[in-house]
Structure 1
Amino acid sequence: MKDFWQAVKNYFHRLDKALLILCAGAVLFSLTILYSELRAGFITTRQLKMQMLAGTLGIIAMVVMTLISYRFLAKLWFVHLPVTLGLVLATFVLPEPFVFKPGGSDDVAWLKFGSLSLQPSELLKISFILTFALHLSKVRDQMHKPLQVLLLCIHGAVPCLLIFKQGDMGSALVFFFIFLCMIFTAGLQWRYIIGGIGVLAVAAPIVWFRIPPYLKQRIYALMDIENSTLAEAYQQQVGQKILGSGQIFGKGLFSDDLNHVYAIHNDFILAHIGQTLGFAGCVFVILLLVAICVKVLLVARGSADPLGCYICVGVFAMFFFQFAINVGMVLCLVPVIGITMPFISYGGTSLLASFCAMGLVMSVYSFNLKRGY
């Protein structure tokens, strides 16, 4: 028994305690908000229980990943990459009973097993961060060679195109942002950056042609969101009103005067935070997520090897882009593209992936860090 408690003590000694507290605080805050939604009738008891189960599994995954060297996890690419990529490909080939289309959309981004649903792209994000970080660390001294840059671009393009083909524009953009942040951190030369901008400019009309009509309508609606009569603008118009209805300190978590908008438990959870806890609650959750992002960057800066740094930058990119776009959707700054707020929004696969991402950062902190940063 003494050896057990010593092992526990050693484990917590190696943890980034500040990051652990921030993540735990975010999850507890999320469960409080979701319980408020349960009391208001916006979600079911089963949904809250599933979120708690996902959080429990996520914590276990984070603990396990913290105990394993991130170098070993990266070298296991031949295990986790085929599994996560295979799950994504399964959404294209499995019949409809096994493919879940949320909200009646044409997206094929979800797998369904009985009463359980899974979004494979969330798990692929973790595998992509690991494999791309490993790829960058192996060729970082050859970043000036066109062939190596081309191979890196292909590595980044494959998941982006697959997820785009699923119809999940939001997740495809998350992958693209992760790719950009990681490859810039590795020291991509300016001539390739300028060339990449040129390629994007040429590809933009093609991408626009391939964007689903409903998403184009959301972009059009955003140009004059207050006066738009398009149906695609309704969700954001209502969400913005609900967000501001709480004023400074909100109506209270269990008020009888709470309003609903579609996806208020995931994409538009900030609107519910605004109406229950007001501007103060919104500022709190934004600062909490910013603190997590900053802490991840500090671990990246303190990493003693490039692999650990690239992994942390990838995790930062994933978290920052998701929460920034999620806030932007509710504030009517960007169109609705189905991006949840990390740790806060309802979504089991998203929460599990968030904890796995933090497990990678914790592993970098534990196994390879220049202390005293």
Structure 2
Amino acid sequence: MSLDFYTIDDFDLDDKTVLVRVDINSPVDPSSGLILDDTRIKLHAETIAELSKKGAKTVVLAHQSRPGKKDFTTLEQHADALSNILKHEVAYVDDIFGSHARNAIGKMKRGDILLLENVRFYSEEILKRDPKLQSETHMVQNLAPMADYFVNDAFAAAHRSQPSLVGFAFALPSAAGRIMERELKALYNAMNNVQKPCIYVLGGVKVDDSIMVMENVLENGSADYILTTGLVANIFLWGSGVNIRKYNKEFIEKKGYCDFVRKSKKLLKNFGDQIILPKDLAVCMGDKRVEFSVEDLPNQPIFDIGTETIKEYAGYIRRANTLFANGPAGVFEKDDFNIGTDDILNAIASSPGFSIIGGGHLAAAANQMGLSKGISHISSGGGASINLLAGEDLPVVTVLRDHAAKKI
């Protein structure tokens, strides 16, 4: 399908300076400061390697965490990790757009790769503003004259309007990188060509994301059923009149999610036959898993869906021709409470339907279980994919399309 924007294939990049924005934001051990997982670095190595092989002088822009977080740090070790993965030297400069960075870019030769400093060290990168205003920031104004092209491969951050993500499309010929291209093709194809029955499995603790998706896909008729798990299920159970007990109600209240209980009631009133709620749940009693029907829940923390619910959900999943899943079914990091998440993922991987899993914890769990080959598409960006499914425009995609259509 046509994505209405340029890709790497549309430009002759040989001996040209190319700014490429990637998302290699990685888990970092707060005590040692070392990268714990290089999955995202390996992912974006594909685009960077291709640019280098095409003869580009590749200047990499990326971020790591955000100010105030313990893992907010420089990108020096990211450059080392990228060098090891590519088996090609990746130079690093502890500057973003100052004279040190610009001098390093000016000295680059054909095929060289240079990683600039964490773009979020620059205060304007944190501000969410109109893309045109982002193009007027010091970062864009100083770096754009040093380059011939801009490639955006940071799908995981595509829902953010920040200078390094949306600003350069106003100043340089711009294209999507391979990860961006692949993500959007998979997601738009699945959304625009939904094969029924279509099942959504929504869980985790980001209830606002799940409710946005529910509202969109139920109202536009693309979803046949929503299977609820995790905190999403607890909120909908409470909204349906089930007594989830004081402990779990107070947890929801402390999270500031009472408005979502009210929203759940409205959704259940309008689409109650399509929103499937758990029949039983696993609570943590004495650090052990004990299952109860939803009518007989004790005043203990709910940590997973129960066995009967897992069986029922697996039946829906096996009959689906299109599957979208986001968020774990429970506290899957804790022994005995990963059963719901693991069994749901196994059912999705063994289903003959086209399946997409959002980024984050569920994607990590699928990879750890070795199920990635059985899943049609595992997204690198939970927030971006959820926003797409919720019918939201992604600022990065909008500016790429507007650039190609000569609107900017």
- Give the helix-richer structure, 1 or 2: 1
- Give the strand-richer structure, 1 or 2: 2
Instruction: Give TM-score scaled by structure 2 length.
Output: 0.25
Instruction: Give TM-score scaled by structure 1 length.
Output: 0.27
Larger radius of gyration: 2
Q: Which has the higher contact order (CA 8 A, sep 6+)?
A: 1
